[in-house]
Amino acid sequence: MAGSDSPSSDLPAGENPTSDLINGTPVSETESSTIGTISRKIQDSLSIGKTHKFWETQPVGQYKDLGDSSLPEGPIESPTPIGEVKQEPYNLPSLYEWSTCDIGSEETCTEVYNLLTNNYVEDDENMFRFNYSKEFLRWALHPPGYFKSWHIGVRVKATKKLVAFITGVPAKIRVHDEVVTMAEINFLCVHKRLRSKRLAPVMIKEVTRRVHLENIWQAAYTAGVVLPTPIATCQYWHRSLNPKKLIDVGFSRLGARMTMSRTIKLYKLPDSTVTPGFRKMELRDVPAVTRLIKNYLAQFVVAPEFNENDVEHLLLPTENVVDSYLVESPETHEITDFCSFYTLPSTILGNPNYSTLKAAYSFYNVTTRTPLLQLMNDALIVAKQKDYDVFNALDVMHNESFLKELKFGPGDGQLHYYLYNYRIRHALKPSELGLVLL
């Protein structure tokens, strides 16, 4: 039975929970949070001196090479002739089988949604779990040029129950002056009762094999854990929009010498936006927004290389998935500024009054005329109008310039960015990174 919330009679008997290899993209809490960060499973055992048996076999930056200036930047291993790429899938434990997941199918999308909803990333205290909507999954996994074969499931042979999932989507990512076609890897999820089966390494190898079959040899991914070796380490910051609810559900707590009424007043926002010409993005704006974003991202060491098709797919507003606003000069009608955020709610576990935390995540923001502080304050105002509880932002690009001023608090977890089969000699500062992975 797909999507069962219970320990599930559809699973083979005798499965024991244990830790997974990688968790997905993390969310961390507000400055005064009482709980740990979602997906922050970094223990002392993950220190730099610790071996990572799987990752030490992979073409990724290794700790032993840190600071070795003789190593060239760029691909670590050369491409293999396509005919020499392994043609057969990797072997799974005998009770399981591979399944290519058609996210366009309502039935399969529901299975994936249920697997993620019940088994994906949680915080350390098991109070919150990511709740990607089906619309979000279709949006994230169907960019221009996507490969259905990169949406990979693992099923129980006997019952066909979906018990694990991993995905890749193609993307053009520029590193310094080199534009590289890569796979963005995401949504690695193993059913809680199968974490002892060591499925994650074989799933990573299988998605890598399928990416290689398309003559693509590099990948980008993020994790809340430290693996060999991050190209950048970023931090989430959080801006309360509904402070009473956030405190009631344990996402954050009252600050010292603060009352609830003072806290609500502290985070209160104006009723309407202040920037003249601030409006929702429309289809006709795609060429102008593409030009704005391309010009802006050119300054970062690592950033996506977007074309108009990418911008239309990723940034044109989609209800409860992605919101995009721009500033159109009232005089010249030129598009001068742009901001966007995507929607990723979390299920609130075990709370009698609330079931969902509605979170907005800062996506791509570009200013040429409007101060970034003002533009992002307008983004907070529209997010509040749309009943978001919290607005999250990484300290990438120029985000650091507005975080403290707009009353964001730092989370207590970190998000690490990685490249597969591509070496960058020196780790980047968050402000040198122009990439947001979903």
116, 357, 372, 438: the active-site residue: 438
Place of tokens 């990174």: 433
CA distance 363 to 394: 9
Q: By the 8 A CB rule, do 431 and 298 touch?
A: no
Cα–Cα nearest to 146, from 87, 211, 200, 75: 211
Judge contact between 253 and 246, C-beta under 8 A.
no
438 is catalytic: yes
Q: Which residues are known catalytic residues?
A: 438
